[in-house]
């Protein structure tokens, strides 16, 4: 008898528990209301943020216009919104305040490498840099150690010359017979050079390098990284690999690097440039060893 009572009590409790849970429809309505409240509060935060402005202090220089031939800084106050990048802010300033403000840019997603500038004392891609992460005023200058063409645009010719000097293309020992023959690469070798292939030719590393600033003939971190990318690729020809290592083993090649890590610190693609340069130094030493 008492066992029956206990069972009934358990059933009653279960029924009571279930009735305490909201019906599925009620639950969906509550969830929907919660989402709407969250959305509204985010919209209110965005509206409040829209009234905020960001203070930009931008380097200006134009040798072709007499009144701008003297370098100076201009100040712009740009409306802030969530996700605003330095490039967005510069474009806003150009479109709304001064159409002569010049900055080089293209992809706006850290791929083309064209908008490397000096922001708050560090080389960065303007499109990859969130204004919210910076102290104000946000100081934007052209890349140091490069000749300024206009405002934030620098002459990249020397940088491109150094990149081209290392022959940034494959030189296999022999061209495979027939067209469209796939050149396979092992997974391990791919891993070895993976980071080196990420270079977007932005020039930030070169601009940060004290050695490159004082020695115009120094190939610079990006070009040495490019040489490393091909020298370490197993599909490269033996003769070409030896030539590459020889080319690096020069006064203005890898031995100029003083492992200051400035290039590695600023690279927007996180390429371990100093490590690659050190690896090539090691390869150069190995290459010169003679056993009699
Ligand atoms: S190595 Fe990095 S910093 Fe240098 S050019 Fe390439 S992407 Fe830019
Ligand atoms: S605009 Fe292309 S990398 Fe920034």
DSSP string, 229-259: HHHT-TTS-HHHHHHHHHHHSSTTTGGG---
In a shared domain, residues 127 and 184? no
In a shared domain, residues 264 and 166? yes
How many C-beta atoms surround the C-beta of residue 288 within 10 A? 10
The total domain count for the chain is 2
In a shared domain, residues 146 and 196? no
In a shared domain, residues 264 and 162? yes
Long-range contacts of the stretch 212-215 (C-beta < 8 A, 24+): 212/145, 213/144, 213/145, 215/252, 215/256
In a shared domain, residues 62 and 107? yes
pLDDT average, residue stretch 19-40:
84
Answer with the residue of higher pLDDT: 24 or 192. 192
Answer with the residue of higher pLDDT: 14 or 248. 248
Residue where a domain terminates, one of 122, 154, 186: 154
Question: What is the Cα–Cα distance from 169 to 193, expressed in whole angstroms?
Answer: 14
What is the pLDDT at residue 18?
A: 57
Residue 11 has pLDDT above 70, yes or no: no
CATH code, domain carrying 179: 1.10.1060.10
Query: What are the distances in angstroms from CA 70 to CA 73, 150, 270?
Result: 10, 11, 36
Condensed to tens digits (0 to 9), the pLDDT of residues 116-160 reads: 999 999 999 999 999 999 999 999 999 999 999 999 999 999 999
Identify which of 127, 129, 152 to mutate to test ligand 2's pocket (most ligand atoms within 8 A of the CB).
127
What is the pLDDT at residue 203?
A: 97
Residue 185 has pLDDT above 50, yes or no: yes
Residue 169 has pLDDT above 80, yes or no: yes
CATH code, domain carrying 88: 3.10.20.30
What is the pLDDT at residue 3?
A: 53
User: In this predicted structure, which of 13-22, 89-98, 133-142 has the lowest mean pLDDT?
Assistant: 13-22
Query: What are the distances in angstroms from CA 210 to CA 4, 68, 214, 218, 277?
Result: 88, 29, 6, 11, 15
pTM: 0.80
Q: Phi and psi (nearest 5°) for 60?
A: -130, 135
What is the pLDDT at residue 9?
A: 64
The closest ligand to the CA of 106 turns out to be 2
pLDDT above 90 as % of the chain? 74
What is Dmax (Cα atoms) for the chain? 106
What is the pLDDT at residue 88?
A: 98
Residue where a domain terminates, one of 154, 184, 207: 154
5 within a domain of the structure (yes/no): no
pLDDT band at residue 1 using 50, 70 and 90 as cut-offs: very low
Residue 10 has pLDDT above 70, yes or no: no
Identify which of 88, 90, 91, 111 to mutate to test ligand 2's pocket (most ligand atoms within 8 A of the CB).
111
In a shared domain, residues 149 and 216? no
What is the pLDDT at residue 67?
A: 84
73 within a domain of the structure (yes/no): yes
Residues with C-beta less than 6 Å from any ligand 2 atom: 105-108, 110-115, 125, 127
In a shared domain, residues 224 and 263? yes
Supply 127's token pair: 């499109």
Condensed to tens digits (0 to 9), the pLDDT of residues 95-123 reads: 999 999 999 999 999 999 999 999 999 99
Q: Which atom of ligand 2 is nearest to the CA of 111?
A: 3
Answer with the residue of higher pLDDT: 49 or 152. 152
Residue closest by Cα to atom 1 of ligand 1:
222
Question: What is the Cα–Cα distance from 78 to 87, expressed in whole angstroms?
Answer: 12
202 within a domain of the structure (yes/no): yes
Residues with C-beta less than 6 Å from any ligand 1 atom: 113, 199-205, 221-222, 225, 267-269, 271, 273
Identify which of 107, 156, 193, 205 to mutate to test ligand 1's pocket (most ligand atoms within 8 A of the CB).
205
In a shared domain, residues 132 and 147? yes
Question: Locate tokens 């040489």: which residue?
Answer: 227
The closest ligand to the CA of 200 turns out to be 1
In a shared domain, residues 118 and 233? no
User: In this predicted structure, which of 172-181, 187-196, 246-255 has the lowest mean pLDDT?
Assistant: 172-181
What is the pLDDT at residue 292?
A: 65
pLDDT averaged over every residue in the chain: 90
In a shared domain, residues 143 and 171? no
Domain that holds residue 241: 157-288
Question: What is the Cα–Cα distance from 54 to 90, expressed in whole angstroms?
Answer: 11
pLDDT average, residue stretch 220-234:
96
Residue where a domain terminates, one of 130, 154, 178: 154
Q: Alpha helix locations (H) across the chain?
A: 2-20, 24-50, 86-96, 157-165, 187-193, 204-208, 210-214, 221-231, 238-248, 262-266, 273-288
In a shared domain, residues 126 and 214? no
Name the pairing type of β-strands 138-141 and 116-119. Answer: antiparallel
Distance 87 CA to ligand 2 centre (A): 9
100 within a domain of the structure (yes/no): yes
For the sheet with 53-60, list strands across it: 72-79, 53-60, 138-141, 116-119, 122-125
Q: Phi and psi (nearest 5°) for 233?
A: -80, 125
Whether 226 and 163 have beta carbons less than 8 Å apart is answered as: yes
pLDDT band at residue 220 using 50, 70 and 90 as cut-offs: very high
What is the pLDDT at residue 12?
A: 64
Question: What is the Cα–Cα distance from 54 to 138, expressed in whole angstroms?
Answer: 8
Residue closest by Cα to atom 6 of ligand 1:
199
Residue 219 has pLDDT above 50, yes or no: yes
Among candidate residues 268, 270, 273, the one with its CA nearest the CA of residue 87: 268
What is the pLDDT at residue 46?
A: 66
2: Cβ–Cβ under 8 A, 6 or more apart, which residues? none
């Amino acid at each position: 008898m008492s066992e029956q009572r206990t069972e009934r009590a358990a059933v009653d409790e279960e029924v009571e528990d279930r009735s305490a849970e909201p019906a599925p429809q009620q639950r969906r309505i509550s969830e929907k209301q919660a989402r709407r409240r969250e959305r509204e509060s985010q919209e209110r935060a965005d509206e409040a943020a829209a009234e905020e402005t960001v203070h930009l202090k931008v380097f200006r220089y134009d040798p072709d216009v007499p009144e701008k031939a003297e370098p100076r800084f201009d100040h712009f106050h740009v409306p802030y919104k969530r996700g605003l990048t330095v490039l967005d802010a510069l474009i806003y300033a150009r479109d709304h305040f001064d159409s002569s403000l010049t900055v080089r840019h293209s992809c706006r997603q850290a791929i083309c490498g064209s908008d490397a500038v000096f922001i708050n004392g560090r080389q960065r891609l303007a499109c990859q840099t969130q204004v919210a992460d910076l102290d104000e005023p946000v100081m934007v200058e052209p890349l140091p150690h490069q000749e300024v063409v206009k405002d934030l645009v620098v002459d990249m010719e020397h940088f491109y010359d150094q990149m081209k000097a290392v022959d940034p293309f494959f030189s296999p020992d022999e061209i495979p017979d027939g067209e469209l023959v796939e050149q396979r690469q092992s997974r391990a070798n791919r891993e070895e050079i993976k980071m080196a292939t990420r270079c977007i030719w932005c020039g930030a590393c070169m601009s940060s390098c004290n050695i490159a600033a004082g020695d115009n003939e120094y190939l610079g971190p990006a070009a040495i990284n490019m040489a490393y990318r091909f020298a370490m690729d197993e599909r490269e020809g033996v003769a070409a690999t030896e030539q590459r290592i020889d080319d690096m083993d020069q006064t203005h090649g890898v031995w100029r690097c003083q492992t200051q890590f400035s290039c590695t610190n600023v690279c927007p693609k996180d390429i371990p440039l100093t490590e690659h340069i050190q690896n090539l130094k090691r390869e150069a030493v190995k290459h010169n060893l003679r056993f009699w």
